Amino acid sequence: MSGRWLNGLKPVVLIARAAFVRNLLQDRQGRAIVQTIIAMAKSLGLRVIAEGIEEASQADKLLAMGCGQGQGYYYGHAEPADCSHCV
């Protein structure tokens, strides 16, 4: 990939992958990676979405770190596309 190609991309969101979020509270290195993703997103004016949030403590830590959006079993399990109560 060339640098020019990368500069042409216009992302609007960065993802903190579940692999880093899963052990966020116990793993100093994973926590540092998530914090770096959040800082990079803020400096670029992008949103951050954390994947794989399974516990309130993870959601609280991410919020304290500056990540206000997330997804995972803590919020609910996946629903079929034809579910009657979907928005």
Q: Is residue 19 part of a domain?
A: yes
Q: Is residue 57 part of a domain?
A: yes
Q: Is the pLDDT of residue 87 over 60?
A: no
Exposed, middle or buried, 34 (CB in 10 Å: 0-12/13-18/19+)? buried
Q: Do the Cβ atoms of 20 and 61 come closer than 8 Å?
A: no
**Predicted confidence (pLDDT) per residue in 60-81, tens digit:** 999 999 999 999 999 998 777 7
**Global model pTM greater than 0.85:** no
Task: Give the structural domain span for 34.
Answer: 12-70
Q: Is residue 29 part of a domain?
A: yes
Q: What's the structural domain count of the chain?
A: 1
Q: Do the Cβ atoms of 53 and 70 come closer than 8 Å?
A: yes
Q: Is residue 59 part of a domain?
A: yes
Q: Is residue 82 part of a domain?
A: no
Q: Is residue 64 part of a domain?
A: yes
**Predicted confidence (pLDDT) per residue in 5-28, tens digit:** 667 777 788 899 999 999 999 999
Q: Is residue 87 part of a domain?
A: no
